[in-house]
Structure 1
């Protein structure tokens, strides 16, 4: 199969492309930077320049490649976290999940590409009612204030992919080579405190497991929404101290909700106190997905050794 990987030089794309190549697939992989083309060549892919926010650029790249399937991995998240302003922090990614998705779908339809698998998100953002762990049937959080643009972009992506019978893979909080370096740096400085009781739940997934799920979804022409998370959604009060310990840092400090809201904003408070995690039962059942890192407990240790 010939797979067109849009956004191939991100942390997940760099794990996905080699897996596809090892499985015998031909890969055309995109980047916005000419300096990164040699990296794609070294991974065994044919690298091409493409601007995911430019409809003509996307259309030309897909038409030239003539792939059988598209993997939409386009994001652009600033390495410097801005928890107080998630609308600014994820501004370009939100556009790639909305405008970029539309451009890829239009290019696929014009070129006759039969299947699209796209990156969505499911870490802490389940609807904040009921139980702490959500399935694909449960609604995502609609977002409030500065969180709403991101929630709207995810909803747009999933709705658009559903219309073309593709698959939206809701990756959990990604960790692995290069994925959480900035988070770990903040944890080591004790600048990532537990807010309130830290009851908010989070779902994690290792990059290699997320890439493997993506390969399976492409090979099986999967349709619908899948939560791509590990086996252990957990409250912040459990995973954050463990992450700190694995990083050789002191235990995280604790701050009251009112102070966190002033210092870090509603996004941080919501994640820490009300976030809902996700179950991976559907992906295991329908894709035959098996995890190399069933829990962040072992994964953090290995990553931070």
Structure 2
């Protein structure tokens, strides 16, 4: 098939390009930077520079590509980890998940795309119903105020994409990424790794929040399967070992050769990190991926972060 990947130069986008090209597909991949067109071409994609927030730019690129499938992997979540930078990246990502999604959907409909696959996220599953949610679960309807915009953007992606009637609209709720090219890898400049090594990524409150994690290569493989086989709806993508932060974070610190993470009371963390961070650390739910395995024939090569952190960070 001819596949258009919006956000092809990102951590999962680059992996996805490689996997789809290896499967015999033709891939057109977008980037915001002319400097990244060379690396995309080296991976086997036809690169194109696109401003995803400009509807004309998106429409023109999609029309020229004439794809059968569009994959939406647009985020702005890479760069320095200072508070101001993080807020700017979050705001830019929210726009890509709202305006960017709408521009891509309009362009997809105009050229008769048959399948539209979009990136979602599982960290904001509704905070009721037990430690693990399946695809029937919904995004948290009443998030903390400082997370409301991000959660609303995720909800927009899900509603807009799964609500289309002219093509298969698929949203992949990914677990938290780790592995090469992500913020959690063996690279010295990986943001989350650096914070853990410097003991700046603490366990907040009880640390009972359950997170699902997924190696970036496994996430890309599930996405490739959705591109080829997916039907309208939501699919979960994570390993088989959802676990509380208080369990996986100390294990990760040991794997990295770092000191154990600090413990910070929730009351102290709220004014510093925000209510959203406290909520994710204390109330988050993991996800089940049985539907994805059953319907897409996908199995993670790293079924647990316990071995994935040891063998999959580099």
What's the TM-score, normalizing by structure 2? 0.93
Residue aligning to 1:136? 135
* Conserved? CA contact 2:146–2:274, under 8 Å: no
SS of residue paired to 2:312: helix
Cα root mean square deviation, aligned: 1.5
C-alpha distance 284-44 of structure 1, shift in aligned 2 (>3 A): same
Larger mean Cα displacement after TM superposition, 38-47 or 263-272: 263-272
Residues 29-81 of structure 1: CA distance to partner in whole angstroms, max 9, x if unpaired?
A: 11110011000110001001111111000000000011111111111114334
Residue aligning to 1:145? 145
Query: Structure 1 residue runs of 4+, over 2 Å off?
Result: 78-89
Residue aligning to 2:18? 18
Q: Which runs of 5+ in 1 are unaligned?
A: none
C-alpha distance 132-82 of structure 1, shift in aligned 2 (>3 A): farther
* Conserved? CA contact 1:147–1:267, under 8 Å: yes
* Conserved? CA contact 2:180–2:313, under 8 Å: no
Report the alpha carbon displacement of residue 196 of structure 1 after superposing the two structures with TM.
1.7
Residues 252-275 of structure 1: CA distance to partner in whole angstroms, max 9, x if unpaired?
A: 111111111122111221111111
C-alpha distance 276-242 of structure 1, shift in aligned 2 (>3 A): same
Question: What are the residue-to-residue correspondences of 1:166-185 with 2, within 5 Å?
Answer: 166-179=169-182, 180=184, 181-185=190-194
Of the three residues 210, 217, 235, the one matched with 1:208 is 217
Residue aligning to 2:98? 98
* Conserved? CA contact 1:50–1:58, under 8 Å: yes
Residue aligning to 2:187? none
* Conserved? CA contact 1:16–1:212, under 8 Å: yes
SS of residue paired to 2:58: helix
C-alpha distance 88-129 of structure 1, shift in aligned 2 (>3 A): farther
Residue aligning to 1:76? 76
Q: Is the aligned partner of 1:218 residue 2:227?
A: yes
Residue aligning to 2:57? 57
What's the TM-score, normalizing by structure 1? 0.96
Report the alpha carbon displacement of residue 221 of structure 1 after superposing the two structures with TM.
3.9
C-alpha distance 83-243 of structure 1, shift in aligned 2 (>3 A): farther
C-alpha distance 85-146 of structure 1, shift in aligned 2 (>3 A): farther
Report the alpha carbon displacement of residue 121 of structure 1 after superposing the two structures with TM.
0.6
Residue aligning to 1:194? 203
How many equivalent pairs are there? 304
SS of residue paired to 2:260: coil
* Conserved? CA contact 2:80–2:86, under 8 Å: no
Q: Which runs of 5+ in 2 are unaligned?
A: 185-189
Residue aligning to 2:272? 263
